[in-house]
Amino acid sequence: MCGIAGYIGLRQASPLLLEALRRLEYRGYDSVGMAIQHDNCVEIRKGPGKVAAVDSECHFAEMPGTLGISHTRWSTHGGPSQRNAHPFFDASKRFAVVHNGIIENYLELKELLRRDGVVFSSDTDSEVIVHLTSQNFKGDLLEAVRSVVKHLQGAYAFCVINNVDREIIVARNGSPLVIGIGQGENFIGSDVSAFVEHTKKVMYLDDFSLARITKDNVQVSDFAGNPLPLQVKTIDWDLEQAQKQGYKHFMLKEIFEQPQVAQDSLKQAVSITVRPARIIIVACGTASYAGYVGKYLIEKLADVPVINEIASEFRYQEPPLSKDDLVVAISQSGETADTLAAVRLAKKHGVKTLGLINVVDSTIAREVDQVIYTRAGPEIGVASTKAFMSQLVTLYKVAYSLADRTFDPQQLVSLITKVLEMQPQVKEIAQKYYHHPHFLYIGRNRNFPLALEGALKLKEISYIHAEAYAAGELKHGPIALVSDEMPTVALCPQDQVYAKTISNIEEIKARQGRIISIATEGDERIKSVSDDVLYVPKVDDILYPFMLVVPLQLLAYHIADLKGCDIDKPRNLAKSVTVE
Ligand code: F6R
């Protein structure tokens, strides 16, 4: 959940590490810090706040030295503050550590260390690592870290340096870590964006492994000390993909990339050869809403029963799984801790797993039996948009493949381009409604998960309270909320549930509710029951989710923008949720 970076070479480390922090900031942004080795000392500068703010206080790039580590934090143990910012020193200030993940047994370890006279300077779980390293150091930093990992329970990726050795030691168990291999220099990052302009040769560290990284060499071994082969890959990412290209926010850029994303995802080969008795879809947040759309599709087209499970719930249930089931994990990052745990649980029961994953070679992508990459490209905005689009396309392909058919929707890409043209109308509606403190979203059937997604987008980036309901549920309680203070976004395209949804809209209207409908071009009737209408093109019933999601994303975006919110980095969130 935090971002970590490292550099060793001949260049000044601090400007490179500062740039890496800017790129990794999407992973967490409540405090920032850097440790640089220079003249047999380690210097640490750090503070609470986002990278730019902390840098203006700490002037990171002025720190001299050609070896260092850095960190941008998303708090788990201990609030965002100077004392809880990484890196951490041991008492002698010879060792420094940055950590991403959670050390679950840290209280027990802290107690043992305290008995040995260790004084802690933070409230974090991470600080135990540096004190244990110092205690276990007998001249070889790698061996010290090898002893340390034996004491640790939980998920981690961490980097350790000391004041004299020209090396960075890294350890991984459950949190992502990638090494960039350069010429006479090497890099470390929580993902490749930390160093992608310097090298495209990368090595993903596996769980339960350690690496000793010098400027000319990388040695990898397992926790027991057995050497592991170096598996260097060349990536085809380019930095421009990760920059804003003139858009005000990454989120807006990513919304507008959706026609291209749909095209790329459509090209992906999808073949499900064995028809399962049942499919269980496991995912979190937006990815889980894509999964709900998948259920409607797979059941309708392929007649295979589908169960949708929120990964954080599934992992602690005792689901009756059978060998004929297929567990489908959907994840943009491929690092979400709960989704990963759900995959591991399925594998433990001997159930086959399929991953629909965006980030290539991410942990879930590597652990599932079969992976289909969703091809959204790097998604930087914390609110997921284009990844959802790519997940939808891929799920449609899965459903069609299970039905022995090919999903080849003519004009889907140009239709998505067309819905994007409604941005000016969406902006006008945002202007009219952005001051409302509550919103209701309704939809039926395949449109219901879209209502959930629309409400999630609004709440996470604008901090407006939004509730989504299956339209037929309204009269069972939530209709009590309706007043002219709480507008309803009604998903009402002319599909098979159109008439039913219109009735639900009428019920809201009769109670002075204000309605923003998203409907099919040419539908005049909807105007009489709505205050405002956004029209999407007429498509085959089954394709409406692709049309509806775009205005929902744009509405959330423009409302948040009018409210002056930090859209790409909403409060309390992080892009990749690698903790429970
Ligand atoms: C919402 C959002 C989250 C993620 C969820 C799963 O905009 O981004 O709800 O969808 O945290 O993340 P992944 O797909 O990386 O597993």
Measure 336 CA to ligand 1 centroid, in angstroms: 8
Measure 202 CA to ligand 1 centroid, in angstroms: 25
Mean pLDDT of 85-100: 97
With a 6 A CB cut-off, is 254 part of the ligand 1 pocket?
A: no
The percent of residues in the chain predicted with pLDDT above 70, rounded, is 98
With a 6 A CB cut-off, is 549 part of the ligand 1 pocket?
A: no
Measure 335 CA to ligand 1 centroid, in angstroms: 10
With a 6 A CB cut-off, is 336 part of the ligand 1 pocket?
A: yes
Q: How do beta strands 352-357 and 95-103 pair?
A: unpaired
Measure 312 CA to ligand 1 centroid, in angstroms: 13
- Cα gap 301→541, rounded to integer Å: 13
With a 6 A CB cut-off, is 461 part of the ligand 1 pocket?
A: no
With a 6 A CB cut-off, is 390 part of the ligand 1 pocket?
A: no
pLDDT at 244 over 90: no
CB under 8 Å to 488, separation ≥6 — which residues? Answer: 439, 440, 441, 442, 482, 505, 508, 513, 514, 515, 516
Instruction: Name the more confident of 230 and 75.
Output: 230
* Res 143: pLDDT: 98
Instruction: Look at ligand 1, atom 5, and give the residue with the nearest C-alpha.
Output: 285
With a 6 A CB cut-off, is 288 part of the ligand 1 pocket?
A: no
- The encoded tokens of residue 81 equal 């503050």
Instruction: Look at ligand 1, atom 9, and give the residue with the nearest C-alpha.
Output: 285
pLDDT at 549 over 60: yes
- The encoded tokens of residue 165 equal 């050795």
Measure 249 CA to ligand 1 centroid, in angstroms: 18
With a 6 A CB cut-off, is 363 part of the ligand 1 pocket?
A: no
pLDDT at 528 over 90: yes
* Res 242: pLDDT: 55
pTM: predicted TM-score of the whole model, two decimal places: 0.79
Closest atom of ligand 1 relative to the 359 alpha carbon:
15
pLDDT, tens digit, for every residue of 362-408? Answer: 889 999 999 999 989 889 899 999 999 999 999 999 999 999 999 98
AA letter at 246: G
* Res 114: pLDDT: 98
Q: Which residues are catalytic?
A: 2, 575
Band of the pLDDT at 343, cuts 50, 70, 90? very high
| 277 φ/ψ angles, rounded to the nearest 5 degrees | -75, -30
CA distances from 219 to 191, 212, 230, 292 (A): 19, 5, 8, 44
The percent of residues in the chain predicted with pLDDT above 90, rounded, is 84
With a 6 A CB cut-off, is 72 part of the ligand 1 pocket?
A: no
* Res 321: pLDDT: 92
With a 6 A CB cut-off, is 286 part of the ligand 1 pocket?
A: yes
Measure 159 CA to ligand 1 centroid, in angstroms: 26
Instruction: Look at ligand 1, atom 3, and give the residue with the nearest C-alpha.
Output: 285
- Structural domains in the chain? 2-238 (3.60.20.10), 243-408 (3.40.50.10490), 419-580 (3.40.50.10490)
Fill in the DSSP letter of residue 473. G
- CA quadruple 79, 84, 85, 88: dihedral, nearest 10: -160
Closest atom of ligand 1 relative to the 364 alpha carbon:
16
Question: Left if phi > 0, otherwise alpha if psi is -120 to 50, otherwise beta: which for 378?
Answer: beta
* Res 1: pLDDT: 63
* Res 80: pLDDT: 87
- Cα gap 257→271, rounded to integer Å: 26
* Res 158: pLDDT: 98
- The encoded tokens of residue 560 equal 């948040």
* Res 241: pLDDT: 59
Measure 334 CA to ligand 1 centroid, in angstroms: 10
| 534 φ/ψ angles, rounded to the nearest 5 degrees | -110, 125
Which of 58-72, 199-213, 391-405, 561-575 has the weakest average pLDDT?
Answer: 561-575
pLDDT at 76 over 60: yes
- Is the dihedral angle over the CA atoms 9, 14, 17, 19 positive or is it negative? negative
User: Which DSSP string do the residues of 113-129 spell out, in sequence order?
Assistant: HHHTT----SS-STHHH
Helices (H), 303-356: 311-314, 337-348
pLDDT at 505 over 90: yes
AA letter at 111: E
pLDDT at 493 over 80: yes
Which of 116-120, 225-229, 261-265 has the weakest average pLDDT?
Answer: 261-265
Which helix (DSSP H) or strand (DSSP E) does residue 461 occupy? helix 448-462
Mean pLDDT of 542-556: 97
With a 6 A CB cut-off, is 460 part of the ligand 1 pocket?
A: yes
Question: Left if phi > 0, otherwise alpha if psi is -120 to 50, otherwise beta: which for 436?
Answer: beta
Question: Left if phi > 0, otherwise alpha if psi is -120 to 50, otherwise beta: which for 449?
Answer: alpha
Residue 75 near residue 195 (C-beta atoms within 8 A): no
Residue 282 near residue 309 (C-beta atoms within 8 A): yes
Measure 571 CA to ligand 1 centroid, in angstroms: 15
* Res 87: pLDDT: 98
Mean pLDDT of 344-356: 96
pLDDT at 564 over 80: yes
CA distances from 133 to 90, 95, 237 (A): 8, 8, 35
Computed over every residue of the chain, the mean pLDDT equals 94
Within its chain, how far is the Cα of 273 from the centroid?
A: 29
Question: Left if phi > 0, otherwise alpha if psi is -120 to 50, otherwise beta: which for 164?
Answer: alpha
CB under 8 Å to 572, separation ≥6 — which residues? Answer: none
Residue 456 near residue 408 (C-beta atoms within 8 A): no
Closest atom of ligand 1 relative to the 283 alpha carbon:
16
Pocket test residue of 26, 568, 577 for ligand 1, highest count of atoms within 8 A of CB: 577
Instruction: Look at ligand 1, atom 8, and give the residue with the nearest C-alpha.
Output: 384
Pocket test residue of 336, 386, 462 for ligand 1, highest count of atoms within 8 A of CB: 336
Instruction: Look at ligand 1, atom 16, and give the residue with the nearest C-alpha.
Output: 331
User: Residue 87, preceding bond cis, omega within 30 degrees?
Assistant: yes
